[in-house]
Structure formats: C-alpha cells, structure tokens
Structure 1
Amino acid sequence: MTDSHDNCGIDRRSILKILGTGALGAAGMAVSSGSVTADPSATHYHNPLYGPDFADPTIHRADDGTWWTYASNMSYNNDADEMLVPILSSPDLVNWTYEGEAFDSRPGWLYGSVWAPDIHYHNGQWVLFYSLWPREDDDSLVPGIGLATSDTPDGPFTDHGEILSNPDHPYPGNTIDPYFVSHNGTPYLFWGNFAGVYVVELTADLQDVRSGTFDQIVGSAYEGATIFQRDGYWYFFGSTGDCCAGFDSTYEIEVGRSENFLGPYYDMNGTAMLDRDEWNAGPTHLGDNARFVGPGHGDVTVADDGSWWFVYHAYDTEGPEYAGNNGWPPARQFFLDPIQWENGWPVIGCDGTPSAQMTNPGLGGYCEGGGPVADGTYYITNANSGLHLEVANGSTSAGANVRQYSDTGCTCQQWNVTQNSSGTYDITNVNSGQFLEVANASTEDGANVRQYTDTGHSCQEWDIVDNGDGTYQLVNANSGKAADVASQSTSDAANVQQWTWNAGDHQRWRFIS
C-alpha cells in the first residue's frame, strides 16, 4: 500500500503496525507502539482502553460498522520517535486494534509535530484535519491547520497542505485543534487554543477558507472543541484547564448548547460561553475522581442501541504519569464512557467522572446500577472443586492467605459482596471484615490472593462477570486477571491466585447465599 523505505521492502508504517500488533495485551510497551489490556468480560470493559500515549482522540464509524479513532502522539525526542497520527480500529468500541499511522511522511509545509487530528467521512473520502506544531517549539515557525484525505480509513492519507494559520485570521492565539462540521451543505472549520474558539466557512474542496466568514463561538477558557447536534440543540464540548502537567493536570470538559449552529451558546447555569474566559470556571461535565485525572479533548459517537459515547484522554494515577523518559510525554491514555442526558444536558461516565468499569456499548443499562450478583452475604464456591473460598485458619490479620476448603461452618468462609458506583465489587470477609485483594497490587500471573485492610486501591475491587452457566468470574479491577485455584487443584487448602482468564472450571465460581 506504501512505498518501501528500506532494502527489505517494508515501509515505516508497516513496521510500526507490526510493532503495534505485537503490543496488544502487553504491559509496559514502548510509547511508539502502545498497549491494550485484554478484558475477559463479554459484558463489561475497563478504562483505560489503550495507552500509555493516545491523546486528543477523534472517532468516526465506517459504513461497515467499524469504528476508527486517531490521536496525537507526543513522543518526539527525535523524528524516529514520533508517530504521525496513530490509528486504532474496533468492531464494538471496546476491543481495539492498532492499524498504523495516517501519514507515510511528515507533512512538508512546516517542520512540525502532528497534533489533535479530526476525522470525518465527507463526499466519498476520509478527511483528516490536523494541527502542525513547530517541533522544539521553534518561535520562528507558525503553527496551523492542514488537511489530508484518503480513500480508506487506514490511509495512507494524502496531504493537501496548510489551509489556515495565524496570519490568515484576525484573532489571537495559536491556530490548532480543528473540528469540522458540514451544516446545511456548507463546510465549517472550528479551531481554538485558549484565546477563544472560532469558526470559518471552507471552500467546497475544504482546502481553503472563505474570507469574511470568521466568527467566535466561546471565550478563551477553552480548546479542543467538539460540535454536534442532538434533539434540536447544538452542543459544544470544550476542554479547559492544564492538559499536560501529569497527575497535576486540571483538564476537564465543560459544555454549552444553542438552538442555532453558530450560537450563542450557554452553559447549564445560563452563562454565555462567550463570557467564559477563566479555566475551570463553568459547570463540570467530566472531571477528576480519586483514580483518574485530567480528562478531556475527545469526540462523540453513537452506538447501535442509540446510546451516546464520549472518547477522550485522561491520566490513570495507578499507571504511569509519563509515557516516556525524562518526564515526557504525559501519559494521556484512551478512555470511553457513556453520555447520559438529563434535562437536555450531558452527564459523562454516569457521575461526571471517568469510569473504571462500564457495561459494553449495545447492552444498555449503563448507569442504572445493579449487576450480575446482588449485594449480600455468600459462600463463594469453586466450580471445579466444590470447595469454598476462605481465609486460612480463620485469621483476622491483614495479609492472611486466601485458599479453598471444605465447608466448616466458619464465618471465615462467608463473604459480604457489595457493588460500588463504578460497577466493581468490594468482597469482604465476614469473620475479619477485611478485603479480598491481590497482594502488592501485582498484575502478574500467579500473584497471591489474600485479605487486607481497606487501602482504597483497585486491587481490592473485583468485577463479577456472569458466564451464563450459573458460574461467575472474579476479575481483579487492577490487573484484569481472574481468581484461580492453583494447578486446578480439588484439594483442601489449595491456594487461590490470579491468572489470565482461560475459561477453566477452576476459574469459575458460584455465589451461594
């Protein structure tokens, strides 16, 4: 599909696609390839979906039902490090495959890094608007927005050069963060970078702007605009705050709406978005929680059941703060959450913060609570051995081992199961009151399962996944691995550990009240 760049006849895009494919399911891979954590659940997924560097995601669904998402790549210590718009594809919004880069070579109109892509299918072509930022922040070069097109979503995209830059319009600030909308047959381009978000009409070929059509829609608090229509309103999703300070980032999503495409837009407090000139001053529609920080700069899509979804980036404080060496780039990972609508206003992630676990798109009931197992007290019995999960010797000590054993009537074999607002479960021993956890928050196969006092860490949270046969998986929310009886033993006192899901009966459990 592309020309060769070496004597072996394998080009740069192909090499990186091979590396990306090899990284799926692997932890701690290089920034250039990224990684996906496999989710054994057919009903739920876990955030983040891809990382450690997939910033500013944009998304579009092809006619065959496949979703395609594209992102900035901030690893650019040298030219070889930087991916020229990484691409992922998915049949279901949950399981993602790395497809390569959008460009064979760097756009030539500016020696710059490619940021904040925006993808659409328009007039029979895939159109990719992108920001080109001077590498090494070279002040002698002027950032701007370019356009590239392709017949296929995986590229390679043909660059058509710069269409808008700072000297081309009357406004302050840098010309980056494009977002394209075709409205009533007229193509429009939005952009902005904390100097206001602006809009201009494009020519029919999308390769130039129409003079005299510039306008401003919101104030200088925002960047990373997303504009879409729903139920008679146009919505503006904008990012505000500091995007790139690692775990100290203050990024969040604020929202305005209007009955008219070009505004005026107002937030849910009735404040004109044109008057919002201070970071994080308006109502927050997606912000921090205890684990995930700095959510923002995303895009919207709709699943087959009519549910709305937001793809965006955020930091996972239980993961890396930076994706590479020397404190750069910031580890902004790829997230997905449903958008619920309350009185015409969006609530993202059910409570306005990123979720750790969510029901898969298409299954419904995303924020209704409930789960595969009702809250209560249970014996948790292994399907292979018929033996109960218990704390060894009835210990009440932190760190005491968890194993399987025949029924003794001891409350050390009984467990309180309580669902969290995120959909995960706390499982606490009736005898000791301590939490079932994976020791030392390990993500390795064979790591020990034990009890411990409450630490608030996700290694003490569990996804309970219905296997559809009366048994369930106990999947650790931190590692994504299943509680497992070692060596498939059927003996009393056999150890319980975590292991990658392999569908064996020794990884299946029954909840008996």
Structure 2
Amino acid sequence: MKSKLIIAVLLACALKTMAQQPAANARNRGRFQVGDVTTDPGVRDPCMAKEGDTYYVYFTGGGIQVWASKDMKSWTKQPSVFSVAPEWVAQRLPSFKGLGFWAPDLSFHNGLWYLYYATSIFGKNTSVVGVATNKTLDPNSKDYKWVDGGMVVQSVTGRDDWNAIDPNLAVDENGNGWLSFGSHWNGLKLVKLNPDFKTIAEPQEWYTIASRPRDYKYTDPEPGNGQIEAPFIFKKDKYYYLFVSWDSCCSGVNSTYNVRVGRSEKITGPYMDKEGVNMAKGGGTLVRGGDTGDNKVFYARGHNSVETFDGVDYIAYHAYTTTYERLGIEKLAWENEWPVVIVKK
C-alpha cells in the first residue's frame, strides 16, 4: 500500500529522468516494436484500447495519464482524464489530496467507454473504486467528455478483509457486468454489477477468485510474502482466463513482479491453473516475469491487461529496468488453450 501511494512522486521522477536524457530517447523513439518495451512513455498499470485507427494506453498517475499511437510504436501524450478530482472522492476519503488515481481499466460497452480507477489512504485498505464514461477516446472529437459515474465500491479498514483497488470489468456470455478487484489483504474479489455497470447488483454476492498464503498482518504497512493484486479477466472461446500479478512491484531492480493465470468455464470460478490448483488457494501458472540469468534487462513484469485488436491477442504490462517502468506489449498465442507470450527473437 505504501508503495502504491508514492506512485505520483515516482512517476514524476521518472519523467524528469526522461527529460534529462533527450539524446537517448531520440535514439530509441520510433524503433519500438511489439515485443520491445517503450522508452517513452514510462508507465505503471497499463490498460490498452483501440478506437478507429488509434491505440490508447491509460495508466496510473496524474489524474490517469493517456498516450496515443497509430502503430503501437510511437506514442504521443494526450490530456489526462481528470484535471480535478471528483467531489465524492474527498467525501469518502477525507484525507485524499491531489490526483493520485491508480490502475485504470477501460472497455467499451453499450455505446460508451467505461473507465474504472482506484485510490486509497496510506497504509490502510480504506480504498475506493470509481467509474467514468465517455462516448469517445478522441480528445479532438466534439463528443469527448469524461462523465463522472461516482463510486462503485469501497473497502473500509476494520470492516473488510479485502482492498478495493485494481479494478477490472468483465462481461459474461449473458451480457452481465462483473467487477474484479483487489490487492494483498485477503485476496482478489469479484462482484456482479447492475446493467448500468456502475452499481453493485442485489442481493450482493462476493466471490474470492484468487488468494495466496501470507506471512503478514492486515495492519502491516507493507505486505510480506504472499502478495497478489491486479486481476484481469479475459474471455477466450469457452474459458474465462484470470490474470493476476504476484510478488513485489514498485521497487525498481528489486521488484519481483510476475504475471500468473488460471482459467474457468464460469466467470465466478473456480479458476484453476495448469496443475489443477485453485487460484483461490494459491494456484497460478506463470505467464511472464523478470529475466533470468546473469544478463538481466527486465527485472520484473506485471500488472497486465489483455486485449484483442484486429483478431490478434496482446498482453500489455509494465516492466522494471535499471531506470524506470516501461510499457511492454507482446502478442499472445494459445497452446492447449493456455496463453503463451510470443517472445520476439
């Protein structure tokens, strides 16, 4: 939690570092290919979308930052989602200041783009997930306007053993919306939404879809072993695939972030890994992690999203190098109905 709360500061430092290295950035800009990571922008918690002929990446910090590209190679900064925080955030979290919104999730349904995001109070699971909608992602369109949809869910320290951050919307085969979310504490949760995709359906039923044994208390300011966060549910053929991130983010070369997956024929689970272990009981098959061996370039990869563009499946994540977080985009293949990253040679 502590590491999440200093995101804005670290991101600002990263951008300052980039500004101080114009020659290096100029050499690398324009050479990005799928399977590489970007020099610019540096991101955390990316989600991707495509509208028309333009790709967008939304990510943590600065009121939710946005970059756009025509080719997934060269990116241009766009306006942030928020220039001021919605009034309800301070009402729910009285000590909240600034624009420290995290982990956006973006998808298109019912003629609207739905953007879910989170923020929290330092050292606690007093957290909220909010939603905003827009008719278009193009800031040059006359229809471009983010409309605040209010709070979707809140976790309260002392009441809840889960944490309302890292949201992801998934829609089942019947068109029902489901919100997954969670970071550390007692695992990742799933709850059904009403047809407006903004409020929780009644009667409320909460599912634990992934969890890990832990060696720390809920009141510890920093989690120890057993860290898990950032659920993302992706439907492929008959299965729902649950991607999650294990271990430590936000620590540069000391980060140990890695992406795990399990699958289920029901959106509510249980999600089982390749070995048949339930993800709610510590299961999870490795999809992507840090480099191994002595010549590491990327020390960790995590907090992913998965999208399909023009019939091709992609995984996007942030990768830790010796300098700062970078955006990674790779193609996914499916072997025996399990996702496999196509590693660029």
Instruction: Please give the range of the TM-score, normalised by the shorter of the 2 chains.
Output: 0.7 to 0.9
Query: What displacement does 1:187 show?
Result: 1.4
Per-residue CA distance 1:146-180 (angstroms, 9 max, x = gap): 11112221454222222210149974132100000
Aligned to 2:252: 246
Q: Structure 1 unaligned segments of length 5 or more: list them.
A: 1-22, 74-82, 321-330, 351-357, 359-422, 424-513
CA distance in 2, matches of 1:50, 1:85: 19
1:403-414 correspondence runs (5 A):
none
TM-score (norm 2): 0.77
Distance 1:182 1:169 in 2: 31
Q: For the residues of structure 2 that align with 1:45 and 1:214, how far apart are their CA atoms?
A: 37
- Answer yes or no: is 1:174 the counterpart of 2:163: yes
- Larger Rg, first or second structure (1 or 2): 1
Write out per-residue CA displacement over residues 164-223 of structure 1, whole angstroms, 9 at most, x where no aligned residue: 101499741321000001221211111111221111111222222124222121114521
Q: Per-residue deviation at 1:91? A: 2.2
Query: Does residue 226 of structure 1 match 2:232?
Result: yes
Inter-partner Cα distance in structure 1 for 2:263 and 2:72: 26
Q: Deviations over 1:365-412 (max 9, x none)?
A: xxxxxxxxxxxxxxxxxxxxxxxxxxxxxxxxxxxxxxxxxxxxxxxx
Deviation digits for residues 279-303 of structure 1 (CA, Å, limit 9, x no counterpart): xx74321011121022011111223
Deviation for aligned residue 1:248: 0.7
- Aligned with 1:146 (options 130, 147, 155): 130
- Go from structure 1 to structure 2 and tell me whether the alpha carbon gap of 1:138 and 1:123 turns closer, same or farther (over 3 Å shift): same
- Unaligned 5+ segments in structure 2 are 1-14, 91-95, 213-226
1:61-72 alignment to 2 at 5 Å?
Answer: 61-62=50-51, 64-72=52-60
Q: Which has the higher contact order (CA 8 A, sep 6+)?
A: 2
Q: TM-score, structure 1 length as denominator?
A: 0.53
| C-alpha distance 168-210 of structure 1, shift in aligned 2 (>3 A) | farther
The aligned amino acid for 2:102 is W
Query: Could you tell me which of 180, 187, 200 is aligned with 1:196?
Result: 187
- Partners in 2 of 1:95 and 1:53 — Cα distance? 13
Q: What percentage of aligned pairs have identical amino acids?
A: 29
**Deviations 1:267-323 (Å, cap 9, x if unpaired)?**
1111111110xxxx743210111210220111112233x332111001123xx1xxx
Q: Structure 1 pair 122/307, CA: closer, same or farther in 2 (3 Å)?
A: closer
User: How many pairs align?
Assistant: 293
- Determine the structure 1 residue equivalent to 2:68: 89
In structure 1, the residue matched to 2:84 is 105
Amino acid at match of 1:56: D
Go from structure 1 to structure 2 and tell me whether the alpha carbon gap of 1:69 and 1:197 turns closer, same or farther (over 3 Å shift): same
Query: Would the aligned equivalents of 2:35 and 2:331 in 1 still touch at CA under 8 Å?
Result: no
Partner of 2:339: 346
Cα 1:50/1:107, change in 2 over 3 Å: farther
Q: What is the distance in 2 between the residues matched to 1:46 and 1:284? A: 18
Q: Quick check: 1:251–1:296 contact (8 Å CA) kept in 2? A: yes
What letter is aligned with 1:92?
Answer: D
Q: Distance in 1 between matches of 2:187 and 2:149?
A: 26
Q: Is the aligned partner of 1:49 residue 2:38?
A: yes
AA aligned to 2:129 is I
Q: Deviations over 1:57-102 (max 9, x none)?
A: 011222x1322210002xxxxxxxxx11111122222222211201
In the alignment, is residue 261 of structure 1 matched against residue 264 of structure 2? no
CA contact (8 A) 1:188 1:199 kept: yes
- CA distances 1:470-490 after superposition (whole Å, capped 9, x unpaired): xxxxxxxxxxxxxxxxxxxxx
